[in-house]
Amino acid sequence: MEKIILNENQDAVGWLWFIPDKDFTEGVPCSGWGMERYPEGSVFEGQVKYDGKKFYRQGFGKQDFTNSSLTLQVPDGMVGKTFYGLYDSEGQHPWMYGNGILYCVDEVTGKPAGFVKGFFDCFSNITDWHGNFDPNDLLPGYTLDMEVKIVPFVKRHNYLVKTYGNTPCDCLFLGDSWVEMWKDPNRYGVDVFERDTQGLNAINVGIGGTKFSDWLPWLDELVICHKPKKIFVNLGFNDIHGFQTVDYVYDCMLKFINDVKTALPDVKFYFAANVLCSPFVPFHDSERELNRLTKEFCDANDYCKYIDVYKLFTKDGQMIPNMDDLCIEDNLHLNLDGYNIWSPYIIDFIKNN
């Protein structure tokens, strides 16, 4: 079939081209093969479905991270180069979902250095490979003895420790990818975090993909060492989507608060409400429940404040119809328009409370 050019600028972000498996008619669903470039620099090529309105990854694909700004969680001395595996966007999974192999190269020589295989959910290797693995499927230059394991968040963690050390600050911002990507001038053309926190003496230690439970072992080197007067927290999103129960997430939040407050008795916490996004509609009720429990705790304890950013992106308790327009192509992470709503509200609240 003929290749359909979706963007004349093949260096642009978004879907670049699509080869349908049958005659293509705009508005009529079909499948095929396509290519998409992401704002952080990686490029996907693989099986694609078209639902009559938009394209999405579905089936086998490969993603090249050569020019990506993402920090993939691979062992020191290696760089995550390419992922080959399954995608299931139709099943409400924004990136990889299924068996896959993440190939790594030596960060100095660029030669094959290791690979991670297993069942992936986004960039998390959540279980072993499903079924039998054929070593002959490995790319040239890779052998079974080169298999390595993902070390969750180690590179971002080590970068933050090295960058900020024990630097004191008045306000510490921590959490998941919404906090990490807040400070990304390469993506948005402006460092939104730096722009909006002028005069706050603030440090951003966001780590994409993290849950409350991930932060408990890091409190000394990433939180307490900075001796902040105020701590902003944006967590719970990955916890719920990782199938942790609301009660478990809430308990981890309480332990987080207790451990930090034991070391910093005068600190004040600011918890951002979880915001509803379209890839995780089945989890919206759990997110609302976690928001409710968090607000109740904050209302009962004057050292905790609840920042209701939820209301900025909902109407009558439901996600606003244009939420996807406020996110990058994965419909999960805020674009500049989204940050221009989320960020000022948070900063203004912290300054005045």
Q: Are 74 and 117 in contact, with CB atoms under 8 Å apart?
A: no
- 165 and 97 inside one domain: no
What pLDDT sits at residue 92? 64
Mean pLDDT for 118-126 is 82
- 168 and 116 inside one domain: no
Render pLDDT for 196-251 as a digit per residue (tens, 0 to 9).
999 999 999 999 889 999 999 999 999 999 999 999 999 999 899 877 899 999 99
Which residue from 78, 58, 65, 127 is spatially nearest to 99, judged by alpha carbons? 127
- 189 and 289 inside one domain: yes
Q: For the full predicted model, state whether its pTM sits above 0.75.
A: no
- 192 and 101 inside one domain: no
Q: Is the pLDDT of residue 152 over 80?
A: no
More confident residue, 189 or 83: 83
Q: Are 226 and 202 in contact, with CB atoms under 8 Å apart?
A: no
- 129 and 31 inside one domain: yes
What pLDDT sits at residue 21? 94
Residue 14's SS3 state is strand
- 185 and 131 inside one domain: no
Name 229's Cβ contacts closer than 8 Å, sequence gap at least 6: 170, 171, 266, 267, 268
What pLDDT sits at residue 68? 86
Number of domains the chain contains: 2
- 158 and 275 inside one domain: yes
Which residues face 230 on adjacent strands?
171, 268
Mean pLDDT, all residues of the chain? 93
Q: How far is CA 185 from CA 130, 188, 195, in A?
A: 39, 5, 10
Which residues face 114 on adjacent strands?
104
Q: Which alpha helices (H) appear in 146-283, and where do they start and end?
A: 154-164, 177-180, 185-188, 192-196, 212-215, 219-222, 237-241, 246-263
Alpha-carbon distance of 200 to 213, in angstroms, equals 28
What does DSSP say about strands 318-319 and 112-121: parallel, antiparallel, or unpaired?
unpaired
Alpha-carbon distance of 150 to 246, in angstroms, equals 26
Question: What's the CATH number where 310 sits?
Answer: 3.40.50.1110
For the ranges 9-18, 94-103, 150-159, 336-345, which has the lowest average pLDDT?
Answer: 150-159
Mean pLDDT for 40-55 is 92
Which of 92, 125, 146 finishes a domain?
A: 146
Mean pLDDT for 60-85 is 88
- 25 and 132 inside one domain: yes
What pLDDT sits at residue 95? 80
Among 53-62, 126-135, 340-349, the range of highest mean pLDDT: 340-349
Q: Name the residue type at position 321.
A: P
Q: Is the pLDDT of residue 284 over 70?
A: yes
Alpha-carbon distance of 165 to 205, in angstroms, equals 11
- 243 and 201 inside one domain: yes
Q: With DSSP H G I counted as helix, E B as strand and the rest as coil, what are the percentages for the chain, rounded to 5?
A: 35, 30, 40
Residue 337's SS3 state is helix
Q: What are phi and psi of 124, to 5 degrees?
A: -95, 125
What does DSSP say about strands 230-234 and 4-5: parallel, antiparallel, or unpaired?
unpaired
- 20 and 134 inside one domain: yes
- Under the banding of pLDDT at 50, 70 and 90, the label for residue 32 is very high
Which domain does 127 fall in, by range?
A: 4-146
Render pLDDT for 240-263 as a digit per residue (tens, 0 to 9).
987 789 999 999 999 999 999 999
Alpha-carbon distance of 175 to 272, in angstroms, equals 10
pLDDT more than 70, % of the chain: 99
Alpha-carbon distance of 26 to 23, in angstroms, equals 10
Which helix or strand (DSSP H or E) is residue 347 part of?
helix 336-352
What pLDDT sits at residue 241? 83
- 206 and 342 inside one domain: yes
What pLDDT sits at residue 20? 95
Which residue from 315, 314, 295, 293 is spatially nearest to 305, judged by alpha carbons? 295
For the ranges 6-20, 101-115, 121-135, 319-333, which has the lowest average pLDDT?
Answer: 121-135
Which of 88, 113, 146 finishes a domain?
A: 146
What pLDDT sits at residue 41? 85
What pLDDT sits at residue 187? 81
Question: CA torsion, points 135, 136, 137, 139, in degrees to nearest 10?
Answer: 100
Which of 146, 166, 187 finishes a domain?
A: 146
- 104 and 140 inside one domain: yes
Residue 199's SS3 state is coil
Name 206's Cβ contacts closer than 8 Å, sequence gap at least 6: 173, 174, 175, 176, 177, 178, 179, 180, 181, 182, 183, 234
